A and B are shown apart, each in its own frame.
Chain A
Amino acid sequence: MTDSALLLLQAAADTTHAYGEFPVIGARAFIWITAEVHLMFAAFVLGVPMFAVVTEAIGIFGGDERYDRLSKEFTRLLLVAYSATAIWGAMLVFGLSTLYPRFWAYLTAIFAPSMWLYAALFFIESFTLYLYYYGWDRWKKGKAKLGHWTLGILLNVWGTTVMFIANSWLTYMMSPPRDITPTTDPTTIKLWHAIANATWMPINVHRVIANVVFGGAIVGAYASYRFLAARTDEERAHYDWMGYVGNFIAMSALIVLPFAGYWLGREIYQYDQSMGITMMGGFMSWLWVIQAFLIAVLFLTGNYYLWIGMGRIPGAERFRPYTKYLLIVLVLGAIVWGTPHTMIADSKELAAMGGSHHPFLGALGVMSAKNTAVNLMILTTFLSFLLYRRANTRPVVPWARTGTIIQGAMFAVAAAVVLFYGIRGYFVEAIVRIGFSVYQVLAVLSCIVFVTVIDILMARGAQSLGAIRWGKMPPRSQYALFILAVTFTWLMGLMGFARSGIRQYWHVWQVMQDTSKYAATPALGYASKMISLCVLIFLSLVAFVFWLGGLAEKSTFVATDEAEKGARRVGH
């Protein structure tokens, strides 16, 4: 423990009040807004570099310069967004240190060294970004280009490390190691002991994936705006393709995200069962109904965008009749997933319902039904991608028919496994039932991997049924991308509320109690207003950032035939 941190702690302890107040909106709302908007910008500036560096690699190793320019356009969006991230981060720190001084002193007493490292890494990260962006045209060829790409990798390394450090602070608030009690002197807590708490790594993994989803969605929204504002067919074609890439990345990563979330939930339960029950069956139980609705919107809108996109692909009409069946599966899955199971209800409500569960819907509200529904929705979405991908090609390999039959069989087997364990789950104990979800997930993931491998092999030398007419998309498809971006952002705010809210009236779970007038955790109605406000602030600022980006440089669109070549690499 350092002298400066001790002095800070002592200063806070000497303060007569543990809490400050912020005018008009109050201290909690101020912290809520600054933390949430900071987090949204941070997710954006961490997610976008991930696929900027991947697209640059495709450009380098695939010899397609178009990807290189796309990567540069992604990176250009980051420059101003970095400043916004830092500004909101500074506001959050000032807010915490003035409105929650005692709590802030407690955190700094434990984490001060990691906070210095955080600041240093953020500094290095920012300058790596400047080098990465401004050196783009200078280091364009040969080894210099590889060096430039290495800068992109370093940018991701710094960014991810910064996020891991910040995650340790917030996860410590959720799940402090069990040997730490209210009487533990924070200056005696070992730094690594506090960092490596029960939920730290699950949150790290969950956020890495979620950042990719989020970055993809925002880039998709950016592309859709540029598409709608485009003055030429070429420009429209380019941004149509860019929007497709953003959506592809977002939806692909979204498919994996529930599994990371499941791991996080399990760790929360293992750390403290009462916290887990508060989250899933306590006062937050209704939150999951809203979450289910949002996920349903994401799946339906994502698929809708793909189905509209098939209108610009010659040959796609042969698959069109199937979309209605896909839609039925998605809608039914969404309805099951949104069925509540256990909720806080008073005696009158329970009496009106005739028991603790609804007599009919109760059977659909259990995890067996929900896991089955979401896995079938994932399979259905993957099938949509597959049809989209194959729309303008006809495989010519001799085993094409056999391959297609095998692919169909894999889908059937995966769906059967999901259904079997879903039904079987009703007849076994909870501890056994939980294990079934692993088999369901493995069946779906195996299907996705093997079917994709077969499809890639089958696509070799495939006959083209015509070039994709990039840019020939109705405006409603682009508005769908906006809905996706808004929904992803809102969902992030909602899940942030869930993660933070399960601490209830504790700053640090069962170690440091919140004794301010804002200690009660608000109901979902109030939370939803705060989330919408944060999303609105974020999207308004992002629109401003995009506008600034547009001022700085011309767009990177290229001719349609290049767009066609590029698109083949991301799913055609």
Chain B
Amino acid sequence: MWATNAKIVGIVLGTLALYTLIANKIPQVQSEVPQTLTLGANVTPEQLVAAGEKVFNGIGGCPTCHGLGTRAPNLLTDEKGQGSIGARCGKREPGKSCKQYLYESLDQPGAYVVEGYQPIMPVMTKQLSPEQVWAVIAFLESQGGTVDVTASDIPATSPTSPGGGGAGGGASFAGGSTDPKAIIQAAGCLACHKLDGQGQVIAPDLTHVGSRRNAESIRKKILDPASSVAKGYEKLAGIMPKSFGTMMNAAQLEALVQYLAAHK
């Protein structure tokens, strides 16, 4: 019986060893905790690129869509014979440098939707800190192009900048203003929504939102965008940032809610 027992132990240990070995032979990817990015005045292009790559693959979540080939254009590899993003970004919009084009694409994604793709990209300047945004731009430029981002491009970061690890809800959002128009401007709502003739038509038109939703429903939608999805926009579910509730203070939120609810 000892021989049988030894065989059983051998099979159990051998099976465990095989599975463990295979799991250790594949590429090892650890999910890191996002770190606050601090770049000094003497930051070099190499440092920016390295930091940008981390943001791109980490907190930015960019490969989630860019790299699948179906959701958004490839950035790190060739896109329809035009090369990777660093090689093509300067040619996308006449009169705009690569740096300008990339920044505007991150700040107003609806402005330059590449043909054949859906306008699903969130406003990254609302999700990342300025350091992170400019580091990503430097990284993208390095993909086949020349890095010309410098420390002077990066504005001073406020303590409540998104992506900076701050607690959020700070008074400095929209300068602490309770003017709904200032809040809408700061939150970048018009990058996707249309309101009173301005903005994009990617997401539902808010001009008559008050006739469709009451104040409570609007408040809930802002705090929890996934709580309901307007009919016809199901494919865009999950695109609206979830961070507005922590970016605004209570007075700002209420001012915005009442303003939109009044749009009958």
Interface positions of A (Cβ within 8 A of B): 178-179, 181-183, 225, 228-229, 271-274, 277-278, 281-283, 286, 289-290, 293-294, 342-347, 350-351, 354-357, 430-431, 475, 479, 482-483, 486-487, 490, 501, 504-505, 510, 514, 519-525, 527-529, 531-532, 535-536, 539
Contacts and interface: CB of A to CB of B under 8 A. Distances in A.
Contacts of B212: none
27 contacts: A178-B223, A178-B227, A181-B245, A228-B8, A272-B238, A282-B63, A286-B29, A290-B22, A346-B57, A347-B53, A350-B67, A351-B76, A356-B74, A479-B7, A479-B8, A482-B15, A486-B16, A501-B31, A504-B31, A520-B30, A520-B31, A524-B29, A525-B26, A528-B22, A532-B16, A532-B19, A539-B12
A522 B26 contact: no
B4 interface: yes
- Counting from the closest, the 9 A-B pairs by CB-CB distance are A528-B23, A273-B238, A178-B224, A523-B28, A521-B31, A525-B24, A505-B33, A532-B16, A347-B76
Contacts of B235: 431
Contacts of A342: 67-68
B242 interface: yes
B220 interface: yes
Interface string B52-95: 01000100010110011110001011100000000000000000
A208 to B, nearest CB: 25
A114 B78 CA distance: 55
B16 A490 contact: yes
Given A228-B4, A342-B68, A523 B237 contact: no
B238 A274 contact: yes
Contact of A510 (B30, B69, B70, B242): B242
A554 to B, nearest CB: 18
Contact of B31 (A178, A283, A290, A525): A283
Contacts of A355: 69, 74, 77-78
Q: Which of B4, B31, B227 has the most CB of A within 10 A?
A: B31
A304 B63 CA distance: 41
Given A178-B224, A342-B67, 4 more contacts: A293-B19, A355-B69, A505-B33, A510-B242
Interface of B: 1, 4, 7-8, 11-13, 15-17, 19-20, 22-24, 26-34, 53, 57, 61, 63-64, 67-70, 74, 76-78, 143, 169, 220, 223-224, 226-227, 235, 237-238, 242, 245-246
Given A350-B77, A355-B69, A520-B30, A182 B16 contact: no
Given A286-B27, A524-B23, A181 B33 contact: no
B78 A521 contact: no
A490 B61 contact: no
Contacts of A228: 4, 8
Nearest to A341: B68
A356 B23 contact: no
A370 to B, nearest CB: 16
A346 B50 CA distance: 12
A37 B244 CA distance: 41
A290 B23 contact: yes
A168 B152 CA distance: 51
Nearest to B64: A277
A536 B12 CA distance: 8
A274 B11 contact: no
Nearest to A519: B33
Given A355-B69, A486-B12, A350 B76 contact: yes
Nearest to A340: B26
B238 A522 contact: no
B223 A181 contact: yes
B62 to A, nearest CB: 11
Nearest to A493: B19
A495 to B, nearest CB: 13
B24 A357 contact: no
B29 A479 contact: no
Q: Which of B19, B24, B238 has the most CB of A within 10 A?
A: B19
B63 A344 contact: yes
Contact of B20 (A272, A521, A528): A528
Contacts of B227: 178-179
B26 A289 contact: yes
Contacts of B246: 181-182
A482 B16 contact: no
Contacts of B169: 183
A281 B226 contact: no
A107 to B, nearest CB: 21
B64 A281 contact: yes
Contact of B57 (A344, A351, A520): A344
Contacts of B12: 482, 486, 536, 539
Contacts of B61: 274, 277, 282
A272 B4 CA distance: 50
A134 B31 CA distance: 50
Given A179-B224, A486-B15, A529-B20, A229 B1 contact: yes
Nearest to A353: B77
Contacts of A525: 23-24, 26, 28
B165 to A, nearest CB: 10
A346 B22 CA distance: 21
A273 B242 CA distance: 12
Contacts of B11: 479, 482-483, 486
Contacts of A178: 223-224, 226-227
Given A356-B68, A479-B7, A486-B16, A527 B63 contact: no
B143 to A, nearest CB: 7
A369 B22 CA distance: 23
Nearest to B19: A490
Contacts of A272: 226, 238
Contacts of B30: 283, 520-523
Nearest to A362: B69
A428 B17 CA distance: 42
Contact of A528 (B13, B24, B27): B24
Contacts of B69: 355-357
Contacts of A354: 77
Contacts of B220: 179
A333 B4 CA distance: 34
A184 to B, nearest CB: 11
Contacts of B33: 505, 514, 519-520
Contacts of B28: 523-525
A285 B165 CA distance: 27
Contacts of A344: 27, 29, 57, 63
B4 A520 contact: no
A293 B18 CA distance: 11
Given A355-B77, A356-B74, A527 B23 contact: yes
Contacts of B74: 355-356
Contacts of B63: 282, 344-345
A482 B19 contact: no
Q: Which of B27, B29, B67, B224 has the most CB of A within 10 A?
A: B29
Contacts of B19: 290, 293-294, 487, 490, 528, 531-532
Contacts of A274: 61, 64, 238
